[in-house]
Amino acid sequence: MSDPPALFEIKLREGESITGRVYAEGKPLLLPTPAEVAAVMATLQPANRAAIQQAYGKYGLPRRVVAAPLSLGEQKYGVLVLEGLGETAAFTADDVPFVQALAQLLSLALDRRRLEEEAATFRQTRETDRLRAEVMATLSHELRTPLAAIKGYSTALLLDEIEWPDEKRREFLRLIDEECDNLQLMIGEILDSALIDVGQLEMEPEPLRLPRLAREVADEMQHLTERHRFALDFPAAFPIVEADPRRIRQVLRNILDNAIKYSPAGGLVVIRGKVRPADVVISIADQGVGISPEDLIPLFEKYFRVKAPTGYHVPGTGLGLPVSRAIVEAHGGHIWAESKVGEGTTLSFSLPVGKNCGD
């Protein structure tokens, strides 16, 4: 054939020409003479005829044809068409059973392929449903933990028969307050993650002084822990960046919160600022449990949480780091982690420096 791609232009209707007719009737067709072939091909629409003429080029139209449907039961796959173009041997009625058998073999192969694809789609849907159910179960469990604490402390405070000393009352109220913050944080992460999925996490950048923001967040965190100490290390001239203060605060909070959560023995948390030619890097180093090299790979994936040793559970959604990554990347920056098990983790993120440099 001189231009086979032209065949892809053809859009046959059912019943049109040889293929359309065999497809519609579901029966083999033998056209042993050029005249018979031409008669059936006369039903071609003009555009399809032009495409066929272009495809066959100098060979002209087929002179004899035998065709059989490719189908199995109700399932129609297409038509097998054998054409004689030159003066070569003709097709006879004896050839039809062979072509039919060949078409049946092809149909079986196509049917098997279809069933395999259907089974794969089914398995994939089941796997997606299973993963979704697993995520929902984990998230619900994580949300229930602070809720159970809030319920427990408030029920205790409401007990008529116990007169709690002021100090105890205050402690319970502080714990309720803390667990409410945890709950709020987790719900916020779930919501942000959903917004990221639909591309609707919006940034409102403005000139931002990172050293000041880091100081504020560190002070805020210091109120939550006595075991940890926070230190800041920023060069005196630190560029102002264009960034969304609320969102970058969220990133810092999340990384510092992790630094506390995953350093159960306490320790020093250092927040360092570094200036590079095109961007600034903020890194937060802790002296916590660390992360193994294989867990560092999926660290920023949604819902990923390092499997903690039994008997040691740290609440969380596994969404903090993916949300932080989305925020940093929305600013044109990067986020990464370095860690050594038993020694600690350093989480770093970069933010590009625009025109407003030189504070």
**Binding-site ranges for ligand ADP (CB under 6 A):** 254, 258-259, 262, 286, 288-289, 291, 299, 304-306, 316-321, 345
CB of 268 to ligand ADP, least distance (A): 13
CA dist., res. 11 & res. 211, Å (int): 66
Considering the complex, state which of residue 17 and residue 287 has its C-beta at the smaller distance from ligand ADP. Answer: 287
Q: Which is nearer to ligand ADP, 299 or 328 (CB)?
A: 299
Of 242 and 295, the one with the shorter C-beta distance to ligand ADP is 295
Of 62 and 318, the one with the shorter C-beta distance to ligand ADP is 318
How far is residue 31 CA from its own chain's centroid?
54
Determine if residue 83 is left, alpha or beta; phi over 0 gives left, psi from -120 to 50 gives alpha, anything else beta. Answer: beta
Which of 39/314 has CB closer to ligand ADP? 314
**What torsion do the CA atoms of 169, 173, 176, 182 make, to the nearest 10 degrees?**
-140
Containing 81, the helix (H) or strand (E) segment is: strand 75-84
Residue with smallest beta-carbon separation from ligand ADP: 316
Which CB atom, from 107 or from 345, has the smaller least distance to ligand ADP?
A: 345
Task: For residues 108 and 127, give the distance between their C-alpha atoms in angstroms, rounded to a whole number.
Answer: 28
Give start and end residues of each alpha helix (H) in 161-316. 166-197, 210-222, 245-261, 293-296
Residue 200, helix vs strand vs coil: coil
- How far is residue 341 from each of residues 129, 257, 287, 305, 356, measured CA to CA in Å? 34, 18, 10, 15, 39
DSSP state of 87: S
Measured from the CB of residue 184, what is the shortest distance to ligand ADP in angstroms?
14
Cα dist from 185 to 141, 146, 173, 190, whole Å:
15, 11, 18, 9
CB of 353 to ligand ADP, least distance (A): 26
The CB-of-198 to ligand ADP minimum distance in angstroms stands at: 20
- Which amino acid belongs to residue 352? P
Shortest distance (Å) from residue 119 CB to ligand ADP: 35
d(CA 101, CA 108): 11
CB closer to ligand ADP out of 107 and 258: 258
Minimum Å distance from CB 74 to ligand ADP?
50
What minimum distance in Å lies between the beta carbon of 75 and ligand ADP?
Answer: 47
Least Å distance between CB 333 and ligand ADP?
17
Comparison of 69 and 320: residue with beta carbon closer to ligand ADP: 320
